[in-house]
Amino acid sequence: MQSFDLETEGLRKLNVSLHAQSNDTNQTAWEITNPKGSHAIAVGLDAPIEVTVLGPTGYYCGGMNKQATVHVKGSAGPGVAENMMSGKVVIDGDASQYAGATAHGGLLVIKGNASSRCGISMKGVDIVVHGNIGHMSAFMAQSGNLVVLGDAGDALGDSLYEANLFVRGTVKSLGADCIKKDMRPEHLEILKCLLAEAEADAKPEEFTRYGSARKLYNFDVDNASAY
């Protein structure tokens, strides 16, 4: 286990050390102490390493992650795991706005609640939130799966494309072009896997699926008020 005190050694040195790890590194386990809400912790990683952050993080923790597992034992600030490509980011506490924004792949698990715009513009990532999510979540979501064990706020899935949204609790309101959809066997299968991977205690059958009505895909003057 490599231990790194962020307060004394600084952000630059941390990210340089993590970027220096390659696919066959034997320094696979890293522990970061004293994060104290710092921004850009463990960003741009590209190696199969496990990074544990002992405390809360600021903006963009785990941003653009590839391959690595980043585990925050605390809450995360805005844009956690933004544009993640692969790997896994786990937040034990709550996550602020734009969690998983534009992420292309990998798995983001938030054990607490996520704030507004969770999964905004997501492009293939899987996101599992054990608690609730805020308004405008999955706005313009392109692909991937957003799973919410609690409730969703206003305007869920506004203008979304092909992402699947699964909510177990209530949805305050649906955004433009977002509708309730049938749960087919393949969706139950996706849910089963994601819930297991995210260590979430829920059954696939308890969820409702939402997705795009695909009415805004090509401009139509009769839908003008929805644009």
Told to check if 124 binds another protein by CB under 8 A, we report: yes
Whether the CA torsion 102, 22, 73, 192 is positive or negative: it is: positive
3-state secondary structure the chain: CEEEEHHHHCHHHHHHHHHCCCCCCCCCEEEEECCCCCCCCCCCCECCCEEEECCCECCCCCCCCECCEEEECCCECCCCCCCCCCCEEEECCCECCCCCCCCCCCEEEECCCECCCCCCCCEEEEEEECCCECCCCCCCCCEEEEEECCCECCCECCCCCCCEEEECCCECCECCCEEEECCCHHHHHHHHHHHHHCCCCCCHHHCEEEEECCCCCCCCHHHHHHC
- Asked if 153 touches another protein (CB under 8 A), the answer is no
> What tokens were used for 55?
């405390």
> 21, 52, 57, 83: which one contacts another protein (CB under 8 A)?
83
One of 140, 146, 191, 198 touching another protein (CB under 8 A): 140
Distance separating alpha carbons of residues 137 and 125, to the nearest angstrom: 14
User: For another protein, which is the closer residue by CB, 83 or 132?
Assistant: 83
Q: How far is Cα 195 from Cα 204, in angstroms, rounded to an integer?
A: 8
CA distance 48 to 26: 10
Q: Does 226 bind another protein (CB under 8 A)?
A: no
Binding residue for another protein, selected from 26, 196, 201, 221, defined by CB under 8 A = 221
6 lies in the binding site for another protein (CB under 8 A): no
Residue 79 within binding range of another protein, rule CB under 8 A = yes
40 touching another protein, by CB under 8 A: yes
- Indicate which single residue of 2, 31, 92, 104 sits in contact with another protein (rule: CB under 8 A): 104
Please identify, using beta-carbon distances, which residue of 176 and 188 lies nearer to another protein.
Answer: 176
**Minimum distance from CB of 225 to another protein (Å)?**
12
Answer yes or no whether residue 211 interacts with another protein by CB under 8 A: no
Region from 27-35, 106-114, 157-165, 168-176 binding another protein, contact rule CB under 8 A:
157-165
| Residue with smaller CB distance to another protein, 82 or 126 | 82
| Interface with another protein in residues 48-77 (CB under 8 A) | 58-60, 63-64, 66
What residues line the site for another protein (CB under 8 A)?
11-12, 15-16, 19, 39-40, 43-44, 46, 58-60, 63-64, 66, 78-79, 82-83, 85, 97-98, 101-102, 104, 117, 120-121, 123-124, 139-140, 142-143, 159, 161-162, 217-219, 221, 224
